[in-house]
Amino acid sequence: MTEVIPRTLAGPLLAAASQYPVVTVTGPRQSGKTTLCRATFPEHAYVSLEPLDNREFATQDPRGFLAQFQGGVILDEAQRTPELFGYLQEAVDETTSPGRFIISGSENLALTTTVSQSLAGRTAMLVLLPFSLEERMQTDAADATLDEVLFQGGYPRPLITGIPHERWLQDYFTTYVQRDVRQLTQINDLGAFTRFVRLCAGRTAQEVNLSQLGSDTGVSHNTARAWLGVLEASHLVFQLPAWHANVSKRIIKRPKLHFIDTGLASALLGIRDPRQLTTHPQRGALFETFVASEVLKWHLGRGLPADLHHYREVRGSEIDVIVPGRPRGFAVEAKAGQTVQSEFFDHLADLPADDWRRCIVYGGAGRQVRGGVEVLHWRALAATDWAAG
């Protein structure tokens, strides 16, 4: 039997189920949604809408299908039967008991659209990403080195079962392209799309330049924008918009691109062994992505909105992750080096301590406070409260 690792999202999931008749859990494939839902609601019936016979029953006789479940039910891969959601609305309006329907699905493009149209105001929306460092520390891989963590990423299955990460992640991406992308979009040139995703991996932790991405892939600017939207909707990447004290100016500067999982990014970059990362030119970028992803997972894992940004001035000063807040927000710099150096502090020095909690997360093992700036070793990401305010 597969080991069940406690997930941070379990608490918010239970809380949402005590308040809403429907709770929807989305996230990338293989992030552990089914395991989480079944472990959190063991008394609920469980139905996967992936098998054809279950889909046919749900679409051809939706009222009869839903009538089977007088108690609670987990409807997995629910995006496969969008026709069912109108009848779910009907069932919820007749009986508003909380936590009756737990919906999970991976294809966020389809699922979010369907839910927003049919269940607005009736469902809580939660996102489950691959293991955070906090969750990973509960597995047999808890003692991994930084390069091993960057190389392996956080997808639960290879971490728990011992499947070689390189093979599993390559298979994962191949399945994503050949199955999900075909189902979700009208992308005809899967070869070009694959090149696009690999180019995105090479640009993780960089500002988004759609014209350059499109040119390097051999597609138009608009196509590159649409394909990046597919990756975001599939929870493979996320963007940090540029931050400015004047909200109206945030959209002027380019967002930064990050992969949700550094293991997948490493696989797409052709990294075959964690030892390659020691001298790899993308190591610093992968570490920054790792830090940004951990802050994102901290928020989403607690059912909180993730209002994350990056900061860049025309004169060159930049900060990797900004979490705005009152009275204080977070300003976080990610430095992959193992030795704290004075230049690490350059971009944080001008921020007023009264307005910002200033942090440097680095690749070493020590912890200190220098000039009001907290220096955190990378493992401290598993125990840091990233709530601004």
- The pLDDT tens digits for 367-385 are 999 989 999 999 999 999 9
Contact 2, 99 (CB under 8 A): no
Query: What is the distance between the alpha carbons of residues 316 and 23, in angstroms, rounded to a whole number?
Result: 44
Which residue, among 145, 132, 135, has the nearest Cα to 377 in the 3D structure? 145
Q: Considering Cα of 340, then 342, then 347, then 351, what sign does the dihedral take?
A: positive
| Res 251: pLDDT | 44
Which residue, among 105, 84, 80, has the nearest Cα to 30 in the 3D structure? 105
Count of other CB atoms within 10 angstroms of residue 356? 22
| Res 389: pLDDT | 67
| Res 349: pLDDT | 84
Beta bridge partners of 356: 329
Residue 154 vs residues 9, 141, 259, 280, 388: alpha-carbon distances, Å:
15, 10, 12, 20, 25
Q: Using N-to-C axis directions, what is the helix angle for 210-217 and 221-233, rounded to 10°?
A: 100
Which residue, among 36, 45, 43, 47, has the nearest Cα to 4 in the 3D structure? 36
| Res 38: pLDDT | 96
CATH tag, 10-127: 3.40.50.300
Query: What is the distance between the alpha carbons of residues 332 and 288, in angstroms, rounded to a whole number?
Result: 10
CA 290 to chain centre: 11
Output the six-digit token pair for 308.
């994350």
Which residue, among 89, 164, 123, 117, has the nearest Cα to 20 in the 3D structure? 123
| Res 80: pLDDT | 84
Fill in the DSSP letter of residue 28. Answer: S
- pLDDT single digits (tens) 278-329: 999 999 999 999 999 999 999 999 999 999 999 887 766 789 999 998 888 9
Phi, psi dihedrals of residue 321, rounded to the nearest 5°? -135, 130
What b/e string do you get for 253-292 counting C-beta neighbours within 10 Å, with b at 16 or more? bbbbbbbbbbbbbbbbbebeebebbeebebbebbbbbbbb
Query: What is the distance between the alpha carbons of residues 27 and 234, in angstroms, rounded to a whole number?
Result: 7
Return the domain boundaries, the chain.
Answer: 10-127, 133-237+256-280
- pTM attached to this predicted model: 0.94
Output the six-digit token pair for 241.
């918009």
| Res 78: pLDDT | 87
| Res 57: pLDDT | 95
Regions of the chain where pLDDT drops below 50: 1, 250-251
Query: What is the distance between the alpha carbons of residues 166 and 144, in angstroms, rounded to a whole number?
Result: 16
Contact 321, 291 (CB under 8 A): yes
| Res 1: pLDDT | 43
Query: What is the distance between the alpha carbons of residues 170 and 111, in angstroms, rounded to a whole number?
Result: 25
Query: What is the distance between the alpha carbons of residues 150 and 381, in angstroms, rounded to a whole number?
Result: 14
